Amino acid sequence: MKLLNYICMLVVSVTLFSCHNQTNHEIVRNDTVMNVSIEADITYALDGDTARHTVLKYIDFDAIEDLPGFFHILSSKYPIVKWAGEEDEIDMVIDSCIAKIDAYRRGKERFYPDSLVRHCMSYMGFNIAAINNHSGGMTDFVLAEWVMMCAAYYSPDITYLVETQTPNHKAGFYNFGQSYNGAPWWSYLFVKREKGYQVFCLGDYVKVRSIFQLSDEQNRTYYLCSNSLTSVEFYQCLFWAKDDNTCLKVAECNTAPQKNTTDYLRYYFDPKNLIWKYAREEQGTDKLIATDDPPALKLILDGEKSCFAK
């Protein structure tokens, strides 16, 4: 029912074209764990539901001497609600993952625990998505996001963290929660920093299907997180890699462009010309064929002034 309401709301919303933020935000809690500041951010979503995310930052985890102790306290304050089954198992997986990362950073383990990290991310996503789908009220992401930030900080390669990455291997996305039902409602972007990777949450009820590495006339690099499948899923988010230590979210569009037709709308992004075209699906195949209509949407690359335009 929640998914049906979500789809209906999106169908209504696309009758007008606009590009804006998807949810309202209010920082409601500042906390400290072992002298590390923890900021929590509430997002107001559908049907009165709320989600509590951490304010994602690039954290120097080397400054946290007792990493397992830090996460033990954090998990007691922001526990992941368990979904049926063996309730203690997810806590054990998280503890094991943090312990292996801690051993790796101290040189006690030769290799980064990539398989365990992916299992941990998948397991956390399963539990959070299951709870979100089957109960109302607050969905808490704080602990899961701190685990992802820590794993990203110490990861030697982006391949261990993401589903799809850019040609320069410096950015990629992970759809959190799809291990539950294949339809995640949260996507995260990982971007290379001097050490490890920084994590960005793209919002609630977002699924990314593609990421494009783009550049402008000044040879500045951008990353476009994209879902152009249908008018219901349509979502675009642009980040500008200003330098090796600064990546900025500069433009976002989450409402699909429309035309006066009753046809089922599909879209095709042309990365060379930075435009979206209306498209139709070739009969008997999954191939999209662009129509002769004018561009549905344009992307203008201009640093912090980048934008989407009709």
Is the entire prediction scored with pTM above 0.95? no
**Residue 168, helix vs strand vs coil:** coil
**What b/e sequence results for 90-120 when a residue is b if at least 16 CB atoms lie within 10 Å of its CB, and e otherwise?**
bbebbbebbbbbbebbeeeeeebbbebbbeb
* Count of Cβ atoms closer than 10 Å to residue 276 Cβ: 24
pLDDT, tens digit (0-9, with 9 covering 90-100), for 4-41: 444 444 443 333 344 544 445 555 566 677 777 788 77
Give tens-digit pLDDT for 89-115: 889 999 999 999 999 999 999 999 999
91 to each of 34, 72, 194, how far by Cα in Å? 20, 10, 31
The shares of helix, strand and coil residues in the chain, as percent rounded to the nearest 5, are 30, 35, 40
- Give yes or no for a contact between 15 and 258, defined as CB atoms under 8 angstroms apart: yes
Break the chain into its structural domains and give their ranges.
Answer: 1-22+212-310, 23-205
Q: Is the dihedral of CA 79, 28, 54, 68 positive or negative?
A: negative
Each residue's pLDDT expressed in tens, for the chain with a length of 310 residues: 444 444 444 443 333 344 544 445 555 566 677 777 788 777 765 566 788 899 999 999 999 999 999 999 999 989 887 776 555 788 999 999 999 999 999 999 999 999 999 999 999 998 888 888 777 667 889 999 999 999 999 999 999 999 999 999 999 999 998 777 766 678 999 999 999 999 999 988 888 999 999 999 999 999 999 998 888 889 999 999 999 899 999 999 988 888 766 565 788 899 999 999 988 877 777 777 777 788 999 999 999 999 999 8
How many angstroms separate the most distant Cα atoms in the chain? Answer: 63
Side-chain half-sphere CA neighbours of 243 within 13 A: 1
